[in-house]
Each structure stands twice: as C-alpha cells, then as structure tokens.
Amino acid sequence: MRTLVVGSGFEGIYTAYLLATERGADVELIDPCTKFGGIMAGVRHRGVALDLGCQVFDNFDAGITQTLQALCRGKWKGLTLAYGSRIHGRTSKEMAIPDLSSAPPEVVERMLEEVLARAVPAPAGLSLKAHCETRWGPTAARLLEPACLKVFGMPSTQLDALSRIYVGLGRIRLADSERSMLLRSLNTELDERLAIPRKDGPGFYPEAWAHLPATNLLPVPESFVGFCDEARLALEEVGVRVTMQTELVGMEPGVPARVTLRTSRTGQIRKDTFDAVAWTLRFPSLEPLLLGEDTLSRHLAPMGMHLIYHFTKESNLGELEYFQNYDPDVSLFRWSAMGRYTGQSTAEGLSFCCTEIPDHGALGTDADRAETVWSEVRQLGLAEGRHDGRPHYVHAPRCLVRYLPGFSAAADQVMRRLDVEFPALIYNEPHIFGRVAAARYIRQRALARL
C-alpha cells in the first residue's frame, strides 16, 4: 500500500508513523517548507528552544500517548500544568477555558436553567453568537462576548460558529464540579458543554490516566523544537521517506491517486501514483488545488499573533504555568511559563516566559509591546520583578483564522465533492481542532480507508 502524506506538522508525522507501523504501508511524507515540523519547529535563541506559544501534548487517549512516546524516542516526561484563566475580571486557577462559575449566584442559576433547556445538539450553519446561545443560552452567550472581541477584534455575530475552536468554546465552566457532574450524568449532551477541572476527575480519560498519570506529555530536553528532530528520526527508522521542499501541485480524480509533485528548490516535476493521499495541511487549500475553485477564501479572514519572550529569574515567575485572558482590558491573550515547565534556562541562568497577543495592529513597535506586555504580566500576577531587557519577538502572520458566516456550509459542499471525486484522499475536517483530537480523527479515517 503506497501512501503519500502531505505536511510535516503533527498530524502528518502521526499519520505517517501510524500507517507505516500499523498497516505496513510504504509511506512518503512531503512538505513544501524547509523546516520539518510545521508550527512545532520553533526557534533556538540564547541557547534555549523557544516553542511558538505554549505547546504540550494532551493525554486523553492511551494509544495516542503511547505513539507520542515512541515518536519522542524515549525523550519525554509527564506533566500536569498549573492552568488559569480570567474573564470579567475574575481569575480561575484550575482551567484555561472560560470559567463563568464565579458569576453572581442568581446569574449562575439562570445559566444552568438555560443550558438544561437547550440540552440538544446545536444545528450547523450558525453564527458564533447563535451557536453560544444555542449551546449555553443567552446569558452565557452575553458573558462570552468579550472573549470573541478579545481574540478576533470583531463581534460574534460576524463570525461563523467554527471560530469557537480558537477561543476555547467547546466546554465552559458554569458551576462547581459536583453540580456539573450531576448535570452531565442526567444528559449526555451536556458532557460536551460543561467543563470540570481535571483535578476533580481524571476518570474522564481513565485509560490514558492509567497509562500516564499526568494531564500532558512534553518532549525533553528541548520541548517541541527537539521533538521535530526526534520524530523525523523515528519516521525514518520505520521506513518513512521524508522529502522536504516538495509540494503537491495536482491530483487526478479516482483510485489510485495519480499525483504531480514539484520540488520548490529546483522546480523539478515528478509524476507518481499512490493508493492513498493523506492531506494534513490547512483544509481550505484543497479546494483550489483539486477542484479549481476558491469559494472558501471569501469566508476566511486570517490574522496573526505576536509572540514575546521575556527572560527573567525563575523566582520572578508566579504559580501558574499556562494562562488565558479573555478580557479585552489588556492585550495579553495567552501566557506560559515556558522555561519552568520545559526545564530550560539560558547560559546566564535565566528562565523565560511567552506571551501571545492577537495582531489587531494597535500596540506600536516591538519595544513598546514588550514593555506593555510585561506590565500586564505583572498586573495579572503571572510574574513579578523585572526582565533582563532583552526580549525576543516572533510574529506569526497567519496562525489564527476568523471563519466568517457561511464557511461551515461552504466547507460541507467542498467535502462532499472531495469525497465523491477523490476517493483516495484522506483529510481532516476543519471543525476538528487540537493536535491530539485531530490525530485521533485522522487515524479513524485512515484505518477505515486502508
């Protein structure tokens, strides 16, 4: 079984390894970029590996965690991060998702009544505002609106419901753990809507927790920068051929898949035939490539993220290690104590942290951003004292996507055409977000297809 995997990010790595080890497939992995690993590649600076934002593997599937350990080639550790979040000026130190449980008691009661009245699957094709109202009720939707403005710079009425994947609007916390668990036991639909801190229930993923008693798995010693090196070696050890700077530029309908590949460095064209093609790059790129149309782009508004790394004493960092701020009163969106949880320090013995800021174009120069953000970090109690005055800046120009109204419906039409015209194609549907969740989904599709 000859299989082509397109993309060297986590989904591509995982899919290639799976097909080679569990199906004995003859696998070639290609990527148009020069660096292996996609967004995991990160950068090395001042003798440490800087991930592009907080990156850890979630441990909620024992099989996937075992595969991750193999891809790390033994260089990993279990990790339970100290999470936190802030919304409406209230800080929660248990979860990084929106926590509305500390709202006034009468508001909490109203939200619980509304969510119980809506304990049915939400219809497709909604705006993000309508999705939140359908999923949790109008009171919670109103309280979540600042989070949408914070991340996207536009109201939820102007966004497709799929945009929720970037704001953590899968499950939210509306009540204490005891009440939430009771409600979830009464209606299984609420299991996907009400969040409970992991400390109150590792039983959500009993097999994963039994295999690795930690919420996360982290590659060591250089986090995801090092993981890219180890994963490439692991792929080569099981016979996967990795070809960088090579892109898929054409594919004929039907089975087998007759493809056209191009080497970007030389422009050389290669024709080849595969039994299956697994596409793990961004889904919207498939439409112009294979169908010759571009209806999805009118429903997309990519945006960037500023990443600022501050170097400071380990003792200056607070108790939280991963924090999401949903309030628009400060620019900081995500923050992580990267040096602490990765166990790295500079030659001067300094730890470091990473702040992520949505690129709404209003923070001035890099130097202005660095000082503004450090003040916010201190204001939020995430760190204290001073940094060393040598921050590092990275701008990721298209790492977030604002899905505009109509995207979900248009994507459904594209997927129907792809499934009919290109039966040899395996791809990840756009509503599946998160590297482990995406890996689980594409594994199911690949095994079903092959």
How far apart, in Å, are the Cα atoms of 163 and each of 156, 299, 353, 402, 407? 9, 11, 27, 6, 10
CA 268 to chain centre: 34
- pTM flag (> 0.85): yes
What is the average pLDDT across 100-107?
Answer: 93
pLDDT, tens digit, for every residue of 337-379? 999 999 999 999 999 999 999 988 666 677 778 899 999 999 9
Report pLDDT for 79: 92
Gyration radius of the chain's alpha carbons: 22
Q: Is residue 14 a contact partner of residue 202, using CB atoms and an 8 Å limit? A: no
Structure confidence at residue 442 (pLDDT): 72
The CATH homologous superfamily of the domain defined by 2-55+224-298+405-449: FAD/NAD(P)-binding domain (3.50.50.60)
CA atoms within 13 A on the CB side of 73: 15
Mean pLDDT, range 114-134, rounded to an integer:
83
| pLDDT of residue 431 exceeding 80 | no
Banded model confidence at residue 123, pLDDT cuts 50, 70, 90? confident
Q: What is the pLDDT of residue 450?
A: 65
Mean pLDDT of 131-145: 94
Mean pLDDT of the chain: 90
HEC per residue, the chain: CEEEEECCCHHHHHHHHHHHHHCCCEEEEEECCCCCCHHHCCEEECCEEECCCCCCEECCCHHHHHHHHHHCCCCEEEECCCEEEEECCEEECCCCCCECCCCCHHHHHHHHHHHHHCCCCCCCCCEHHHHHHHHHCHHHHHHHHHHHHHHHCCCHHHCEHHHHHHCCCCCEECCCHHHHHHHHHHCHHHHHCECCCHHHCHHHCHHHHHHCCCCEEEECCCHHHHHHHHHHHHHHHCCCEEEECEEEEEECCCCCEEEEEEECCCCCEEEEEECEEEECCCHHHHHHHHHCCCCHHHHEEEEEEEEEEEEECHHHECCCCEEEECCCCCCCCEEECHHHHHCCCCCCCCEEEEEEEECCCCCCCHHHHHHHHHHHHHHCCCECCCCCCCCEEEEEEEEEEEECCCHHHHHHHHHHHHHHHCCCEEECCCCCCCHHHHHHHHHHHHHHHC
Confidence of residue 239 (pLDDT cuts 50, 70, 90): very high
CB 426 within 8 A of CB 12: no
pLDDT at 200 over 60: no
Residues 188-195, mean pLDDT to the nearest whole number: 82
CB 263 within 8 A of CB 281: no
**Rounded to the nearest 5 degrees, what angle is found at the Cα of 224, between the Cα atoms of 219 and 229?**
90
pLDDT score, position 198: 63
Q: List the chain domain ranges.
A: 2-55+224-298+405-449, 103-196
Reported confidence tier of residue 327, pLDDT bands at 50, 70, 90: very high
What are 325's two structure tokens?
Answer: 């701020």
135-149, 324-338, 431-445: lowest mean pLDDT where? 431-445
The predicted pLDDT at position 201 comes to: 52
pLDDT of residue 32: 95
Higher-pLDDT residue of 144 and 400 is 144
Gap between the Cα atoms of 112 and 100, Å rounded:
11
The residue behind tokens 């295999």 is 211
Q: Span 435-447, mean pLDDT?
A: 70
Measured distance CA(210)–CA(178) in Å, rounded: 23
Q: What percent of the chain has pLDDT over 70?
A: 94
Poorest-confidence range of 39-53, 319-333, 432-446?
432-446
pLDDT score for 210: 84
Q: Average pLDDT of 18-45?
A: 93
Token pair of 395, please?
Answer: 């701008």
Widest distance between CA atoms in the chain: 67
Count other C-beta atoms under 10 Å from residue 63's C-beta.
Answer: 15
Q: Is the pLDDT of residue 439 over 80?
A: no
Asked if the model's pLDDT at residue 119 lies above 80, the reply is: no
Distance (Å, whole) CA 350 – CA 17: 37
What average pLDDT does the segment 425-449 reach?
74
pLDDT in tens, 154-189: 999 999 998 988 887 888 999 888 888 888 887 877
Strands 322-325 and 83-87: parallel
Burial call 148-165: b when 16+ CB within 10 Å, e when fewer: bebbbbbebebbbbbbbb
On the question of a cis peptide bond just before residue 219, with omega within 30 degrees of 0, the verdict is no
In contact, 423 and 336? CB cutoff 8 Å: no
- Higher pLDDT, residue 315 or 447: 315
pLDDT for residue 436 = 66
CA angle 98, 100, 106 (to 5 degrees): 165
For range 27-32, the mean pLDDT? 97
Mean pLDDT, residues 27-56: 94
pLDDT at 203 over 60: no
